[in-house]
Structure 1
Amino acid sequence: MLDEDERRARQEAHWLVREFGAEAPLYAAMKAEKAIGQRDFGRCARWKRVLEILADGGSMGLRRGAAAK
């Protein structure tokens, strides 16, 4: 079972792929950078996890994660 932070990161990754396709990692990196600038390190950690999900799983991992909800 996924904890709330992991579920939210997978949900964000899935949405980014759906909305931005191949540009999804760029958008996630921009969000992480903005969070760092605002000194919101919890939000930055979530966006970094989204980047990991996008890099590791691609769309196949996102489909598996979506089915696990």
Structure 2
Amino acid sequence: MLDEDERRARQEAHWLVREFGAEAPLYAAMKAEKAIEQKDFGRCARWKRILEILSDSVHSKSTASKY
């Protein structure tokens, strides 16, 4: 079972892909960087998790397309 933070991160990642397509990881990285600049490390951690989800999604799709 997913906790609320994980559920929200996955939801945000899916929204970013729908909204920005291949540019979704770039958008998430920019948001994480802005959070660091503002010393909002909780928000930064959320954006980094979203980046991980996006990265995992890209890797699993590229692996699946090889077969």
- TM category, shorter: 0.7 to 0.9
Alpha-carbon offset, residue 57 of structure 1: 1.8
Task: Tell me the residue number matched to 1:32.
Answer: 32
Task: Tell me the residue number matched to 1:57.
Answer: 57
Task: Tell me the residue number matched to 1:15.
Answer: 15
Moved segments of 4+, more than 4 Å: none
Task: Tell me the residue number matched to 1:67.
Answer: none
Which structure's relative contact order is higher, taking Cα pairs within 8 Å and 6+ residues apart?
Answer: 1
AA aligned opposite 1:24: A
Q: Structure 1, unaligned stretches of length 5 or more?
A: 62-69
Give me the TM-score of the superposition, normalised by structure 1. Answer: 0.82
Q: Structure 2, unaligned stretches of length 5 or more?
A: 62-67
* Distance in 2 (alpha carbons) for counterparts of 1:4 and 1:44: 17
Q: Percent identity?
A: 87
Give me the TM-score of the superposition, normalised by structure 2. Answer: 0.84
